Structure 1
């Protein structure tokens, strides 16, 4: 089992997790209606597990002529600087993907205007939006109605420890 800790302060930010052999298929981005009226997709990774996202994920975003999802589990996003182009991720490969409820003590970056432009939650396109209690950015939560429901930890910002 693996526990992930903040690379800046060493605090554990997850409990013990078991690695999945491959990234699970995303359950789709049709969010289920919740009691508060918002929508959220089913979590990609079950509680107690993590997987590595082999493709690029998260910011920065770069132009693309083809209509591909901005990153795995995300929607297609038009390029605001092009009449017919799209944006795709050129972010980190092998981010650590886990169920958001497996994170301990993380807090949302207080700069909500930079991160929270989805109608039901965080879309993840603006960069890391989750901080360790020490203040270091460690990952990106996506939980908007048109995205996958998952937390991505940046491999350079966390350290795995085997229990």
Structure 2
């Protein structure tokens, strides 16, 4: 078991966690709808179950609507793919990449797609394993209709020193997960 700690001050950022050998798969790509996620026109494709009810987004005990977490409670995994901001245009509109976990971003100014050029090798944790240790970055503006979109970069800071350490994705269109910046945290034995 390990604990993630702030690289700047050593403050614990998670409960004890076991490492997973790889990031569990996210929901398969299928039928999607464009959902606006930012005032600048950024949209993401949200997977839709064609056989499910229109309002099949789960409601959490705290009353928030969000999809299931990719990582189970008590575990963490490394995501080798780019995660979150910044986003860059991808010249091939047929190419499908993830701009945010579980979704792709539509270019706000025309055809094509945006893809993440954010950090690779983020440490992915179930948000409830870190909620008591982090604070919302007061400068963060990236909210969506049901939760935090994560489209504007790190939105969680260390509860000890205030350093930006992670991005929470809790919007209804993607997985419910938090991505710790690899340079902002260390793993230490629990």
Identify whether the pair has TM-score above 0.5, normalized to the shorter chain.
Answer: yes
Q: Matched residue pairs, number?
A: 159
Give the corresponding residue for 2:176.
149
Which ranges of structure 1 fall in alignment gaps of 5 or more residues? none
Larger radius of gyration between Structure 1 and Structure 2 = 2
Give the corresponding residue for 1:109.
137
Runs of 4+ in 1 over 6 A off after TM superposition: none
Deviations 1:27-78 (A, max 9, x none): 47663135776421111111110000011111111101334331332x2221
Q: Is the 8 A contact 1:27 1:41 kept in 2?
A: no
Give the corresponding residue for 1:45.
71
Give the corresponding residue for 2:125.
98
Are the structure 2 counterparts of residues 72 and 161 from structure 1 closer, same or farther at C-alpha, using a change threshold of 3 Å? same
Q: Is the 8 A contact 1:48 1:102 kept in 2?
A: yes
Which ranges of structure 2 fall in alignment gaps of 5 or more residues? 29-46, 48-55
Give the corresponding residue for 2:11.
11
Normalised TM-score (structure 1): 0.88
Q: CA RMSD in A?
A: 1.9
Counterpart CA distance in 2 for 1:48 and 1:90 is 28
